[in-house]
């Protein structure tokens, strides 16, 4: 019976199925084909993501028209290399060049080009960039976002912070405003705009990675913002912006061996310099007149200092605010205006950040006693004047400082001054006085401290021969000095 039923059904499917039924089985056993109406579903991002994207778009709308491309040209003279026939010493080379000058390859002039970025800060064409972008340039060309090109002139520059201001003759230009870099926090958005590798109008996004970076060896005064917003060659001088489109820094440097490590000059440091350049054409910085270094555990122990904190004074310049205020070599500056000092750059940042003539309050450790000293800043002299101010003012040509506590213990006498610098070819240098010598007397007059030294030396007469009693290592002896 079962076999008969199966056979009957088989015949029914073969003979009784019409075309529609056949199509049904074809559809049943064949793969389903997609229709044109089957499309991937559109994704709707969260509103927060869209808001961030819109914020970046608005920053780009504001920033890109105000960021410029800077091209510089410099004429460089190069003399082709030629082999010397015998001796390559300077003396022989001068002799050889003098007699065979007409036969030697001549100097050739080449045009060296470089590129960088900048940003407009006023409608009438003032532009901020890095000093190293326009340094030694014979010609500066500025290309705007709208493709117009202008010749630019240098308004002023500051090599110590790598800030420069140039100007073009144009009006009604879009410009950027400065924000408060003192309020930025690690983790906040950072947006870099510039022309990396000549690619105009490039915007990259990252975060503030760190603040207050110093001791990098990039510039004299460092207080960098670190960011992972992509910065490349050509970005130098461009703005680092916050999410509001305000300039919080000037992109300056990268770590060539790393990725995602770029540095920008803080806006608050740059603003003061830019204002002085535009108003005066020069930079006036506050100055204390001290040489400082980090206080290490080893130095602290050798000087009898119980706690390793603050920064160590290793030099006090003559007639400087520090000397007038009574600061001495060996003092440890613990605080400045209530701010604790851990690194020499901490004091530098405070001093150069205040106007000339500002009175600062210092907390100092001297002989394990805490002192409070008020010091009024003065205008910083040029580097050349700073270096020559002391050793050229005394007839001996040396710089001295007071003995440190440990040096008093090791000295044969518990007084004297230490020679810390000897000017080349000065009377002291010719006589054989060396750095580290301890001077006890000059012409039999005791030298207990730097004040005694200055007083005695000021009364010496040129052309005379004097005697100096000093200690070197574990020896004491007299030395004659012809002035």
Q: For residue range 47-77, what is the model confidence (pLDDT) as tens digits?
A: 888 888 998 999 999 999 999 999 998 876 6
Per-residue confidence band for 86, with pLDDT thresholds at 50, 70 and 90 = very low
Pair 299, 314 in one domain: yes
CATH code of 136's domain: 2.40.10.10
Pair 152, 94 in one domain: yes
In-domain check, residue 15: no
* Residue 132 falls in the annotated catalytic set: yes
Between CA 227 and CA 205 the distance in angstroms is 9
Per-residue confidence band for 85, with pLDDT thresholds at 50, 70 and 90 = low
Q: For residue range 225-257, what is the model confidence (pLDDT) as tens digits?
A: 999 998 888 889 999 999 999 999 999 988 777
Q: Is the pTM of this model over 0.85?
A: no
Cβ atoms of 172 and 123 closer than 8 Å: yes
Pair 330, 362 in one domain: yes
In-domain check, residue 241: yes
What the block records as the tokens of 71 is 């091209």
| pLDDT at 343 (0 to 100) | 87
CATH code of 325's domain: 2.30.42.10
Pair 299, 275 in one domain: no
Domain region containing 315: 286-384
* Residue 214 falls in the annotated catalytic set: no
Catalytic one among 236, 286, 320, 426? 236
Q: For residue range 111-166, what is the model confidence (pLDDT) as tens digits?
A: 667 789 999 999 999 999 999 999 888 899 999 999 999 999 999 999 888 999 99
In-domain check, residue 461: yes
Cβ atoms of 366 and 330 closer than 8 Å: yes
In-domain check, residue 190: yes
In-domain check, residue 39: no
Residue scoring higher pLDDT (175 or 411): 175
Pair 74, 159 in one domain: yes
Pair 132, 79 in one domain: yes
* Residue 162 falls in the annotated catalytic set: yes
Give the residue from 407, 435, 430 showing the smallest Cα distance to 480: 430
Pair 71, 162 in one domain: yes
Q: For residue range 366-400, what is the model confidence (pLDDT) as tens digits?
A: 988 899 999 999 988 876 555 555 544 578 888 88
Pair 145, 82 in one domain: yes
Catalytic one among 114, 117, 131, 132? 132
Cβ atoms of 290 and 322 closer than 8 Å: yes
Query: How many domains does the chain fold into?
Result: 4
Pair 152, 185 in one domain: no
Pair 353, 299 in one domain: yes
Could you tell me how far CA 470 lies from the centroid of its own chain?
Answer: 42
Catalytic one among 114, 117, 158, 162? 162
In-domain check, residue 36: no
Average pLDDT over residues 348-358: 87
Per-residue confidence band for 342, with pLDDT thresholds at 50, 70 and 90 = confident
Average pLDDT, the chain: 83
Domain boundary among 230, 256, 280: 280
Average pLDDT over residues 29-57: 75
Domain boundary among 350, 384, 418: 384
Pair 449, 373 in one domain: no
Pair 460, 414 in one domain: yes
Q: How many CB atoms lie within 10 A of CB 150?
A: 17
Between CA 164 and CA 129 the distance in angstroms is 5
In-domain check, residue 29: no
In-domain check, residue 255: yes
Angle made by CA atoms 300, 302, 304, in degrees to the nearest 5: 65
Domain boundary among 264, 280, 296: 280
């Amino acid at each position: 019976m079962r076999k008969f039923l199966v056979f009957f059904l088989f015949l029914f499917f073969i003979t009784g199925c019409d075309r529609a039924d056949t199509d049904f089985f074809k559809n049943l056993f064949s793969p389903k084909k997609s229709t044109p109406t089957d499309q991937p579903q559109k994704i709707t991002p969260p509103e927060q993501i869209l808001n961030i994207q819109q914020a970046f778009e608005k920053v780009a709308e504001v920033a890109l028209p105000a960021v410029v491309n800077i091209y510089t040209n410099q004429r460089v003279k190069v003399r082709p290399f030629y082999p010397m026939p015998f001796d390559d010493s300077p003396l022989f080379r001068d002799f050889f060049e003098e007699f065979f000058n007409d036969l030697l390859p001549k100097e050739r002039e080449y045009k060296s080009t470089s590129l960088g970025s900048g940003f407009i800060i006023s409608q009438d064409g003032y532009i901020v960039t890095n000093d190293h972008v326009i340094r030694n340039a014979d010609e500066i060309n500025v290309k705007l976002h709208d493709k117009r090109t202008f010749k630019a002139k240098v308004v002023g520059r500051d090599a110590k912070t790598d800030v420069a201001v140039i100007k073009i003759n144009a009006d009604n230009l879009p410009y950027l405003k400065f924000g408060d870099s003192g309020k930025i926090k690690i983790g906040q958005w950072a947006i870099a705009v510039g022309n990396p590798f000549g690619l105009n109008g490039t915007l990259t996004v990252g975060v503030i990675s760190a603040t207050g970076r110093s001791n990098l060896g990039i510039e004299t005064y460092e207080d960098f913002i670190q960011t992972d917003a992509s910065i490349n060659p050509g970005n130098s001088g461009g703005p680092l912006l916050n999410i509001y489109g305000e300039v919080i820094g000037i992109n300056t440097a990268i770590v060539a061996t790393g990725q995602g490590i770029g540095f920008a000059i803080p806006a608050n440091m740059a603003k003061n310099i830019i204002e002085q350049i535009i108003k005066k054409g020069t930079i006036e910085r506050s100055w204390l007149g001290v040489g400082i270094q980090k206080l290490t555990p080893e130095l602290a122990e050798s000087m009898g200092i119980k706690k390793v904190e603050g920064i160590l004074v290793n030099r006090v310049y003559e007639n400087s605010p520090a000397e007038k205020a009574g600061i001495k070599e060996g003092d440890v500056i613990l605080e400045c205006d209530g701010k604790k000092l851990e690194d020499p750059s901490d004091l530098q940042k405070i001093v150069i950040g205040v106007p000339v003539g500002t009175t600062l309050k210092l907390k100092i450790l001297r002989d394990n006693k805490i002192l409070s000293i008020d010091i009024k800043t003065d205008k910083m002299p040029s580097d050349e004047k700073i270096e020559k101010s002391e050793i050229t003012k005394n007839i001996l040509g040396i710089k001295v400082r007071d003995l440190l506590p440990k040096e008093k213990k090791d000295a044969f006498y518990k007084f004297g001054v230490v020679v810390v610098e000897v000017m080349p070819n000065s009377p002291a240098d010719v006589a054989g006085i060396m750095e580290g010598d301890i001077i006890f007397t000059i012409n039999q007059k005791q030298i207990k401290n730097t004040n005694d030294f200055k007083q005695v030396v000021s009364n010496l007469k040129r052309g005379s021969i004097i005697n100096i009693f000093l200690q070197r290592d574990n020896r004491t002896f007299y030395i004659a000095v012809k002035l």
